[in-house]
């Protein structure tokens, strides 16, 4: 990682730390800082969550009620710095992608 990217990541983490000070329940923000994720890595995760949310809604419309394969795909595609269970729990606690995370929580 070059110096510019490190600086950008540190500035991003500083913003998140200020949010955490104001609201200690920002569980996912804590993970971002702890796992040293860049803004780009977090944006990629959010795109993945959006994609998985759409797939889940499409599957529900088709009558599916079992989403373990979708959770497996999510886990496989998740950034290697992150643990699926910890990520799902933190996103749930921070109320991000709630319907998807509530569903994924069933598959631990």
Place of tokens 């923000």: 29
**What is the pLDDT at residue 1?**
61
Provide the CATH number for the domain around residue 25: 1.10.3750.10
**Under-50 pLDDT residues of the chain:** none
**What is the pLDDT at residue 67?**
96
Residue (of 44, 36, 49) closest to 10 by Cα position: 36
List, for residues 22-45, the tens digit of each pLDDT value: 999 999 999 999 999 999 999 999
Which domain does 75 fall in, by range? 3-107
Q: What is the dihedral of CA 80, 91, 4, 18, to 10 degrees?
A: -140
Residue (of 52, 64, 57, 43) closest to 88 by Cα position: 52
**pTM of the prediction?**
0.91
Q: How many domains does the chain have?
A: 1
Per DSSP, helices labelled H in 24-95 are: 27-34, 39-61, 68-77, 84-93
């Amino acid at each position: 990682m070059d110096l510019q990217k490190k600086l950008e990541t540190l500035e991003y983490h500083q913003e998140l730390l200020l949010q955490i000070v104001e609201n200690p329940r920002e569980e996912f923000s804590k993970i971002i800082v702890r796992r040293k994720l860049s803004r780009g890595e977090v944006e990629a995760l959010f795109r993945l969550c959006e994609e998985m949310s759409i797939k889940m809604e499409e599957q529900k419309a088709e009558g599916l009620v079992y989403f373990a394969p979708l959770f497996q795909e999510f886990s496989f595609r998740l950034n290697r710095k992150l643990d699926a269970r910890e990520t799902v729990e933190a996103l749930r606690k921070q109320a991000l992608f709630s319907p998807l995370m509530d569903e994924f929580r069933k598959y631990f």
